[in-house]
Amino acid sequence: ITNSLEAVLGKFRGKGRLTEGNIKDGLHEVRLALLEADVNYKVVKNFIKQVTERSVGEEVIKSVAPGQQVVKIVHDELIKLMGESDTSIPFKEGGQTVVMLVGLQGSGKTTTAGKLARLMLSKGKKPLLAAADIQRPAAVEQLKTLGRQLDIQVYFEKDLPPTKICSEAIKYAKENGHDVVILDTAGRLHIDNELMLELREIKDTLTPDQIYFVCDAMTGQDAVNSAREFDEQLGFDGVILSKLDGDTRGGAALSIRAVTGKPIKFVGIGEKLDRLEEFHPDRMASRILGMGDVVSLVERAQQAIDFEEAQNLSRKIQSDTLSLEDFLMQLQQIKKMGPIKEIMGMIPGLGNKMDGLNFDEKQLEKVEAIIKSMTIQERLIPDMINGSRRQRVAKGSGTTVQDVNQLLKQFKSMKKLMKHFKGNEKGLKKKGMFP
C-alpha cells in the first residue's frame, strides 16, 4: 500500500454529522475549483452560502470523508443551478421552424449551424441554411462548404441586406418543402450598436421561433458578459456552448445560466460536424468541479456500503471468527460498487497510480462462485472442507480442485495475517484501516 492510498483510506472515515467546520473544509476546495473553472465570483459566493445552509446537520455517510460528501452536495446543487436539461428544439407542426443563431465573431455560429442542420436531418427534417453573415466575405463560402458536405441546401443572395436574405430564405423554404430554416448571422469581435441593430431587425421582421446564443466556452467570463448583453439587448431562448473540447472547465455554463436564466441546449465538442451533444447538467457539474470523480464515488458508497456490516466484519476479523460467509458478503459489496479499478480511479490523485496494482476482476468472480457452491456450514467452518467436499465444490462452481485449494489456502493465510494484525491493532487504527 502506497502512502497516498493510506492517506486516502484514512480520510474515508465518517465523523457523525456535517458541521460548519467540516463543511468549510470541503467548501474551501470547492470554492477554488469554481473560481478556477471561471464561474463568476458573485455566483460562487451565493452558491457557497446556499450549500452551507443545506449541508449543516446532514448525517455523514460513514464510508466517505465529510469533505467529500460536501462535494457531492455541491454537485447536486450545481445541477439544480444549471436547471433541468431541456435539449429539445421545439419544431412547429406545419410551416417552417425558424432558428436564428447569434453570437460574437468566432464563437462558432457557422459551425454550429452546420451541426444543427445535420442533427435535424437525422431527425427526419429537411433543413435549409441561410447565409446572413455578409460582414465577412468568407462567411458565406464557409457555410456553403458545410452545406455541400452535408448535402444540405444553403440559401444566399448577393447584394441583399441580411434581413432580406433571411426573409427570402424562408420564402424559398416554403416553396421547396424545407421545414426548418437555420439563420447564420454575422458577429463582431465586440458587441456594438451596428450588430445589435442588424440582429434586432431580423428578429423583429421574421420573429424566429428560437434564437440561440452561441458562445465560446474557452472565453470564460467574457462569454458570460456577452451572454448578458445579448440577452438584454436582443433576447434569446437558449445557449449553445462551443469548444468544450478545449481545456476549459466550462464554468461559463454555470454563470450564463445563473445570469440569464436561459437553458443551455447543446455543447460543441469539436470542429467536425458530428461534434454536437445535448447538454447534460450532471456531466457539466462534474467537469466544473473537476475533483476526480468524488461525486460518483460518494454515490456508489451511498448505494452499496452498509457501514454497520463493515464494522461487524472488522470486529470479526479482530476476534478471529471471520468465515467464508463474511468473505463472500464482502466480495459482493465490493462488486456492487463497481469494478475495483474504476473505484480506485475515482479517488483523486490515485487514478494514474493504479497501473502497478493488479486487480483481477475475473478472479473475484471465480472466488465468488466457489464460495457460493459451499454449504453454509462449510462457509462458517472452512476446516471441514475435505477432499470429497472440495471436489463437489469445484464441480458446482465450474472450477478445478486446485482453484478451491488455492482459495482455502489464501483464506487461511489471510486469517493468519489478520490475527497478526490483531496484536498490532493500535498501529492499524492509526493507519486508518479500521474504523
Chain contacts with Mg ion (rule: CB under 5 A): 109-110, 139
Please enumerate in sequence order all residues whose Cβ is within 8 A of that of 36, keeping only pairs 6 or more positions apart, or say none. Answer: 249, 251, 290
Binding mask 274-293 for ligand GDP (x = CB under 6 A): -x------------------
**Which among 9-17, 107-115, 324-332, 409-417 is the span making contact with ligand GDP, rule CB under 6 A?**
107-115
Does the annotation flag 106 for ligand binding?
A: yes
Cα Rg for the chain, rounded, in angstroms?
A: 30
The residues with which 242 forms a beta bridge, in sequence order, are 216
**Which among 265-273, 350-358, 371-379, 403-411 is the span making contact with ligand GDP, rule CB under 6 A?**
265-273
For residue 329, state whether it binds ligand GDP (rule: CB under 6 A): no
Does the annotation flag 188 for ligand binding?
A: yes
Candidates 66, 220, 263, 268; binder of ligand GDP (CB under 6 A) is 268
First-last CA distance in the chain:
18
DSSP state of 12: T
For residue 147, state whether it binds ligand GDP (rule: CB under 6 A): no
386 φψ region: left (φ > 0), alpha (ψ -120 to 50), beta (else): beta
The 154-155 sheet, strands edge to edge:
154-155, 127-132, 180-185, 97-102, 210-216, 238-242, 264-268, 276-278
For residue 118, state whether it binds ligand GDP (rule: CB under 6 A): no
Short-list 139, 242, 244, 239, CA closest to 188: 139
Question: What Å distances lie between residue 404 and 358, 388, 413, CA to CA?
Answer: 21, 12, 14
Burial class (CB in 10 A: 0-12, 13-18, 19+), 194: exposed
For residue 103, state whether it binds ligand GDP (rule: CB under 6 A): yes
For residue 185, state whether it binds ligand GDP (rule: CB under 6 A): no
For residue 226, state whether it binds ligand GDP (rule: CB under 6 A): no
Name which of Mg ion, ligand GDP, none residue 268 binds, using a CB cut-off of 5 to 8 Å depending on partner kind: ligand GDP
List binders of ligand GDP among 235-264 (CB under 6 A): 242-243, 245
Cβ neighbour number for residue 350 with a 10 Å cutoff: 18
Under DSSP, is residue 291 helix (H, G, I), strand (E, B) or coil? coil
Give me the least distance between CB of 296 and ligand GDP, in Å please.
26
Residues contacting ligand GDP: total by CB under 6 A: 17
Give me the least distance between CB of 244 and Mg ion, in Å please.
18
- Closest chain position to Mg ion (CB): 110
Rounded distance between C-alpha atoms, residue 324 and residue 189, angstroms = 69
Q: Are 222 and 252 in contact (CB under 8 A)?
A: no
Under DSSP, is residue 138 helix (H, G, I), strand (E, B) or coil? helix
Q: Which is nearer to Mg ion, 40 or 242 (CB)?
A: 242
Rounded distance between C-alpha atoms, residue 200 and residue 182, angstroms = 16
Q: Which is nearer to ligand GDP, 267 or 317 (CB)?
A: 267
For residue 108, state whether it binds ligand GDP (rule: CB under 6 A): yes
For residue 270, state whether it binds ligand GDP (rule: CB under 6 A): yes
Please enumerate in sequence order all residues whose Cβ is within 8 A of that of 49, keeping only pairs 6 or more positions apart, or say none. Answer: none
Name which of Mg ion, ligand GDP, none residue 428 binds, using a CB cut-off of 5 to 8 Å depending on partner kind: none
For residue 111, state whether it binds ligand GDP (rule: CB under 6 A): yes
For residue 145, state whether it binds ligand GDP (rule: CB under 6 A): no
Binding-site positions: 103-110, 184-188, 242-245
Binding-site positions for GTP: 103-110, 184-188, 242-245
Kindly list the residues in this chain that would bind ligand GDP in the complex (CB under 6 A). 103, 105-111, 187, 242-243, 245, 268-271, 275
